[in-house]
Amino acid sequence: MLSEEEILAGIDRTARSVTSFYGDEEFVVVSILKGSFVFASDLVRRIPNRIELSFVGVSSYRDGTESGPLEWTLFPTEDEFAGRRVLLVDDILDTGRTLSAVRSELLEQGARDVHSCVFLDKPARRAVEFRADFVGFEIDDVYVVGYGLDWAGRYRNLPYLATFSPEADPSRP
């Protein structure tokens, strides 16, 4: 769906928007594991601001390609974000449940403000109201893998983005 070159061009663009939004202010980039580790790594290297990097882990217990209840797998330490400006980074904004829950938690922990930056946005799938402040690419309602995104834990290491259907998975028994 997107080649490595197309992805990196999109990240250049996204990083420029983030940089001009924050001006010369310092902020904390919070990467939501596991899916956003590839995107976050390319993104932060294109942001010249003084930033700190942090990680939270949230699993949305997918049954195949459908999202289920959320579970924290890595919780922020207390006071980590108190008074700080936070940029949440995720691989994809789908139903909106993950970003909405993480955002509420960080605000509850005293973050000064929380903005969000996603590699992909699938607006057609939204179940809770959520708008990302920075979006790399908007895509249709298709399941995708690669560049950090998985199916059953696999394919995160593909350097490009591909559409995926479980029936076509070569590792299927």
Residue showing tokens 């919780």: 75
Out of 143, 160, 162, 169, the residue judged to bind ligand IMP by CB under 6 A: 143
**Alpha carbons 136 and 9: distance in angstroms, whole number:** 9
**Alpha carbons 15 and 74: distance in angstroms, whole number:** 26
94 is catalytic: yes
The 10 Å Cβ neighbour count of residue 20 is 8
In this chain, which stretch among 18-26, 35-43, 46-54, 97-105 interacts with Mg ion, using CB under 5 A? 35-43
**Alpha carbons 161 and 11: distance in angstroms, whole number:** 14
Mask for 72-101, x = binds ligand IMP (CB under 6 A): ------------------xxxxxxxxx---
Task: Give yes or no for residue 148 binding Mg ion (CB under 5 A).
Answer: no
45 phi and psi, to 5 degrees?
-75, -5
Task: Give yes or no for residue 35 binding Mg ion (CB under 5 A).
Answer: yes
Mask for 18-47, x = binds ligand IMP (CB under 6 A): -----------------x------------
Binding to ligand IMP in span 45-74, by CB under 6 A: 60, 67
Cβ burial 30-68 (10 Å sphere, 16+ → b, else e): bbbbbbbebbbebbbeebeeebeebbbebbbeeeeeebe
Find the catalytic residue in 42, 91, 94, 121. Answer: 94
**What residue 111 binds from ligand IMP, Mg ion, none (CB within 5 to 8 A, per partner kind)?**
none
Residues in contact with ligand IMP by CB under 6 A are 35, 60, 67, 90-98, 143-145, 149-150
